[in-house]
Amino acid sequence: MMNLFSDEVRRNPYPAYEQLRSRSPVLHEPHSDLWMVFDYESVKRALQDHEAFSSIVAPPSAMTSQWLVFADPPRHSKLRALLLRAFTPRAVASLEPRILALSHELLDRTMARGEMDLAEDFSVPLPLRVIAEMLGVPTTDLPHFKRWSDVMMALGYAVAGSEEAARVQREFSEVTEEMRVYVRDLAGQRRETPREDLLTRLVEAEVEGERLTEDELLGFVQLLLSAGHETTTNLLNNALLCFLEHPEQLARLRAEPALLPSAIEEVLRYRSPVQAMFRVTRSEVSLHGQVIPPGKMVLAMIGSANRDPRKFQDPDRFDISREPNPHIAFGHGIHFCIGAPLSRLEARVGLSVLLERMRDVALASDAPWEPRRAIHVHGPTRLPIRFTPGT
């Protein structure tokens, strides 16, 4: 069986997806007892049918069990309602001027050189700083946030039962305790002196007389820091990779800047930042003539679903004006990503600044790029580029 998680395949998993989708859209890996689904309709069902597929994939004792993405109704409904009181469309839209200023500030540091590591110099720090500022975190604490984020993303890399997995779990436990103290102190300050920031809204949010517990508040901060940061980082990096691989589409975008939102949706489909999501079967599930027993771990392969030719015409063609484009890069159903509007906003602003200030962009290295650490995401760890500074 091919190794879907090798660096070589993770750089370009799409030929493997095509082969598996056509031959075995539901695949059982006996060594790990993991089931994988590859076609659009099956992946969509796994994401939205919470009666058959549970999102509770973390043990109750794990801190990740407090994360919204690992909850089922009715607890999920309560948590999401509380978070939506704080994470409003108006609150997200109000960030646009600051995202624009941060984008220019980050590029100002490298523009004169005519070269940069897009990941380290732009795509990583931009969403990290946005999230920190949303929460009202001092800029001096950003190194802590970066370290905490790196440790949390490592959870998706280590193989369960390995020595590395044990080490990662120890590091995550240590980071969780650090963050617990940090968030508790910050939340206490907001209760005494409210501010116009996300943390204040989270602390004050109330639904039917209930507020977030300390663990739930910490869980959301962890989720926002890891998933929110990583998704946008990969979206920005993958967008540039798509444009460099398809220069005719980049030229079209420069000629028609109004296509940028549509181009972002095509990047989300073509190189989905999140390639897979875990579910657990609640009961026996039949798919494509195969029966998945209850209690089995299922990996819904979003990256494959978004290239399914039964749903997308000419799916391996990158087309910035694709319409319709019903991709499921941000999930589907009750678990549709709560941070999707923020990620789209950061991508739209960040990419518009990049395109405005750079010309003749090219990769600065012929070496194959190293995939980011977590196996369920898609994108480069580093992306060295050269360019001619624009005006």
DSSP structure string for 4-66: TTSHHHHHS-HHHHHHHHHH-SEEEETTTTEEEE-SHHHHHHHHH-TTTEE---S-TTSGGGG
Whether residue 258 contacts residue 121, with contact meaning beta carbons closer than 8 Å, is answered with no
Instruction: Kindly give the pairing relationship between strand 276-281 and strand 115-117.
Output: unpaired
Given pLDDT bands bounded at 50, 70 and 90, which one contains residue 80? Answer: very high
Estimate to the nearest angstrom the gap between the alpha carbon of 354 and the chain centroid: 21
Amino acid at 275: Q
CA–CA separation, 300 and 191 (whole Å): 40
pTM for this model (two decimals): 0.94
Q: What is the mean pLDDT of residues 131-160?
A: 82
Confidence of residue 64 (pLDDT cuts 50, 70, 90): confident
Mean pLDDT of 69-79: 92
What is the predicted pLDDT for the residue at 291?
A: 96
Topology of the domain comprising 7-389: Cytochrome p450 (1.10.630)
Q: Specify the pLDDT at position 65.
A: 84
Burial of 314 (0-12, 13-18, 19+ CB in 10 A): exposed
Q: Quick one: pLDDT at residue 60?
A: 79
Average pLDDT, the chain: 92
Q: 232: pLDDT confidence band, cut at 50, 70 and 90?
A: very high
Q: Return the pLDDT at 42.
A: 98
What ranges in 136-162 are assigned the alpha helix state H?
Answer: 142-154
Domain extents in the chain = 7-389
Instruction: Return the minimum-mean-pLDDT range out of 10-19, 147-156, 187-196, 210-219.
Output: 147-156
Least confident of 71-75, 190-194, 226-230, 278-282: 226-230
AA identity, residue 267: V
Looking at residue 152, its pLDDT comes to 86
Give pLDDT tens digits for 173-186.
Answer: 999 999 999 999 99
Q: pLDDT-derived band of residue 217, with 50, 70 and 90 as boundaries?
A: very high
Contact 359, 388 (CB under 8 A): yes
* 355: pLDDT strictly greater than 80: yes
8 Å CB contact between 65 and 55: no
